[in-house]
Amino acid sequence: MPEGPEVHREADNIRAAINGDQPIYIYFHHEHLKPFEKELAGLKVQNVEAHGKGLVISFEDDFHLFTHNQLYGKWYIKPAGSYPKTNRELRVEIRTDQKSALLYSASDIDVMDGESLVEHPYLSKLGPDLLKNPTPEQIAERAADDDFKRKSFASLLLNQGFLSGVGNYLRTEILFDSQLYPAQKPKDLSDEQLIRFGRSALVITRRAYQTGGVTVKEELMRELKKNGTKRRDYRHYLFGRAGKPCRVCGTEIQKLAMSGRRIYICDACQIHQ
C-alpha cells in the first residue's frame, strides 16, 4: 500500500506533468462524476498536493479533485492520449496538449468546492503531514497530548489523525530508529525520548520520500548494493526481514502483529518495557 512518501512522489510527478496547464479532455469512470468531465475541461490546473495518503488536484473556479489510492490505486503519467499496458481499470484521465495523468484502480474519488474540501471526512481529520515540515518538538507535543498519550506507538503510527502519511513499513522503521518498543506509550517517555521519536519520524519519512521508499541510511544502502543484496533486503532495517539479523546489532529480527498489521522488532535495539 502506498504510504505518504509514495503519494507525495506521485503528486510531484502529476504537478510536473499538468500543473499550470488547461486540460483538453477529462474522463471519469464513476457515473456520479461524469457531469464534471465537461465542467473541468479547459479549466487551468492550479495546484497538485498530497495530504497524507490522499491527493488533491485543484482547478480554476474552486473545483478540487480528491483521490485516495487505498490499496491498489496508481497514477501514471504518459504522453497525451497514450495509455500504459495494464489490466487495471482506468478511473480518471486528465489530458493536456502534452501529457495524460491517469489514475487506475482507485475508488475513493470525488470532486468538490473549497468549502467541502476543508470539511472532507478524510482531510479534515488528518494530523500533521511529516513531509510538510512539522518540527520534532511539535511531534513530541502532539504525542504528549491527552488524545494520544495513553495509546501505544503501534496504534498511534497507523492513526492518520496523529501523523498523516505513515503506514505499515514506516511504522516499523520509525520505531526502530527511535529505539522504542511498539507497545510503549507516550505518557511513559521523557521529553527527550519524545523529541527523539519526533526526529526519527521526520528523518525516516523524508528519507523514504527522497529515495523512493528506502529507509536505511545511504551509506548502508550503497554497501549492501555493492555486496549484491537485493532491493527487498536492503530497503529497510527491519520491515519484511523476519528471522534475519538486525543491521545494527545482529540480533534476529522478530515479526509480530499489532493493531492488526505486521510489525518487526529488534529486541536488543528497541527498549522493552
**Active-site positions?**
2-3, 53, 261
User: What single string gives the DSSP state of each residue in 200-248?
Assistant: HHHHHHHHHHHHTS--S-HHHHHHHHHTT--HHHHS-SSTT-TTSBPTT
In the complex, what is the shortest distance from the CB of residue 176 to Zn ion, in angstroms, rounded to a whole number?
8
CB-count burial class (<10 Å; 0-12, 13-18, 19+) for 124? exposed
Q: Judged by CB under 5 A, does residue 249 bind Zn ion?
A: yes
In the complex, what is the shortest distance from the CB of residue 254 to Zn ion, in angstroms, rounded to a whole number?
11
- Select 212 or 245, whichever has its Cβ closest to Zn ion: 245
**Of these, 103, 195, 246, 263, which contacts Zn ion (CB under 5 A)?**
246
Q: Judged by CB under 5 A, does residue 220 bind Zn ion?
A: no
Please report, as a single letter, which amino acid is at residue 233. Answer: D
Q: Judged by CB under 5 A, does residue 251 bind Zn ion?
A: yes
Give residue number: closest CB to Zn ion. Answer: 246
In the complex, what is the shortest distance from the CB of residue 221 to Zn ion, in angstroms, rounded to a whole number?
18
- DSSP state at residue 147: T
Determine the interface stretch with Zn ion among 67-75, 131-139, 210-218, 240-248 (rule: CB under 5 A).
240-248
What H or E segment, with its residue span, contains residue 45?
strand 45-51
Count of residues interacting with Zn ion (CB under 5 A): 7
Tally the C-alpha atoms within 13 A of residue 155's C-alpha that lie toward its C-beta: 11
Cβ proximity of 240 and 134 under 8 Å:
no
**Of these, 77, 183, 242, 248, which contacts Zn ion (CB under 5 A)?**
248
The three-state secondary structure class of 16 is helix
In the complex, what is the shortest distance from the CB of residue 232 to Zn ion, in angstroms, rounded to a whole number?
19
- Select 69 or 270, whichever has its Cβ closest to Zn ion: 270
Question: What residue ranges bind Zn ion (CB under 5 A)?
Answer: 246, 248-249, 251, 266, 268-269
